[in-house]
Amino acid sequence: MLALRNLVEIKLEDLDRCEQVSPFGHLPCLQILEMTSLGNLKRIGNEFYGREILDSERSSSCSSEGALITLFPALRKLSLWGMLSLVEWSDVAMISSDSSIKVFPNLRYLDLYFLPKLAILLDMYSLTCLQRLEIERCESLSCLRNLNSLTSLESLSIKDCPNLDATLNFMDKPQSLNTLCLSRCDKLIYSLSSYLRNFTSLVRLEIEADPGIWPKDVQHQPHLRTLTLSG
C-alpha cells in the first residue's frame, strides 16, 4: 500500500478468503472505503489502522516522538456490508506515548449493514465530525460506546438490532440531530420515552415497533415536521 498513497476510494467486494484487512489508515488521500461480503473476516484490529507503518516512517525521518499521529486523515465515508463472520471491530492499540493520536478526524458517514455476529464495535469518542450513522441487522451488538462524542451527528438510523439497550440516553442534548429512525429495536425504543425530550432539534422521527412501546413525549418536539409510526 505504500506505493498507492494517492488512492481516494477503495472498494473490497466478495473476498471470501480474506481473513485480515490491509493497513489503510496511513493513506493520506483516502476518502471512501467500502468493504462488502468479506465472508471469512472475523476481526478488524490494529493492522487495519496502519499504525505500525506510520511509526516506521516517523522513526526513519527522525521525527519527534510527541508528533501528532493521524490515522485515516482524509476518510469521509466508511461502509461495512454483509460480513457474516465479523465478531469484533476494535480500537487502535495505544501505547504510553500516544497523548496526541487522532483516528477518523474527518469521517462524515458510517454505515454498518448485516453484520449479524458483530458484538464489539470501536469506541466513538473520536468521531466528532460524523454526520450520519446507520446501523442495520447487527443482531449481536449490545452497546454503542461514547455516543455523546458525536457532536456533529445529524442523522441516526438503527434497524434490526434487538440487543441494543438504552444506548441513546448517553447522548447529552444532541443539538445537531434532526433525523432519528428506529426500527425493530424493542429495547432501545422502549427506553426512548425517558429521554426523547433531550432531542430538541428533531425534524424527522420514524419508529417501527409494537404500538405499546411507542414513545410518549412526541408532543415535546417543537421542530418536528415528519412523524412516522408503524407496527
Q: What is the CA 13 to chain-centroid distance, rounded?
A: 20
CA distances in angstroms from 177 to 131, 142, 173, 207, listed in the order given: 9, 22, 9, 16
Q: Can you list the alpha helix ranges (DSSP code H) found in 61-214?
A: 186-192
Q: If pLDDT is split at 50, 70 and 90, which confidence band does 197 have?
A: confident
* Mean pLDDT, residues 115-125: 94
- Predicted confidence at residue 166, as pLDDT, reads 64
Question: Which DSSP helix (H) or strand (E) runs through 52?
Answer: helix 51-60
In this predicted structure, the answer to whether residue 180 has a pLDDT above a threshold of 60 is yes
**pTM for the model:** 0.89
Q: If pLDDT is split at 50, 70 and 90, which confidence band does 102 have?
A: confident
Mean of pLDDT over the chain: 87
96 vs 52, more confident = 52
- Predicted confidence at residue 96, as pLDDT, reads 43
For 20-39, what is each residue's pLDDT tens digit? 998 899 899 999 999 999 99
Burial (CB count <10 Å: 0-12, 13-18, 19+), residue 188: buried
- Predicted confidence at residue 127, as pLDDT, reads 94
